[in-house]
Amino acid sequence: MRAAIRPAARGFSLLELLVALSIMAMSLGLLYQASTGALRGVGDLDQEERANVLAQSIIEARDAVPAAGWNESGSSAGMAWRVSSAPYETDVSRSTPAVARLHEVRVLVAWDSRRGQRQIELHTLLPQQRPQPGERQ
């Protein structure tokens, strides 16, 4: 009698398994890097949005600027801010004293991030406060 010949074993060789595992490990590593990079970007955008909201709230805290100007600084939530103003000359304000003078207001907000010192600056125009009765202009 003849011995039955066994068919060739089916499956993967050890080398094929090692190659497949190394490809899978590299793919997972790249996916991990991409997802953490996206999370870092979201964190940076969150910080920038917080700085914008802080600058806008500082501007909205006043509806007019004193005649002497507005120079102030401080810090809030780990962000340093500085406000400065200067008269903003227009042809109308020079020729018509009854028109409220304008001041250009600049708000600078700075903070530390993973990429170093970051800052934003907002500019707006606000009217000058009218003098109180009996006060000199």
Which pLDDT band, with edges at 50, 70 and 90, does 131 fall under? confident
For 12-52, how does the pLDDT look when each residue is reduced to its tens digit (9 = 90+)? 788 889 999 999 999 999 988 888 877 777 778 888 999 99
- Of 49 and 133, the structure prediction assigns the larger pLDDT to 49
State how far the Cα of 128 lies from the Cα of 67, in Å rounded to an integer.
Answer: 6
**Percent of the chain residues topping a pLDDT of 70:** 83
> For the chain, which domains are there?
14-127 (2.20.130.10)
pTM above 0.85, yes or no: no
CB 80 within 8 A of CB 109: yes
- Please tell me the predicted confidence (pLDDT) of residue 94: 64
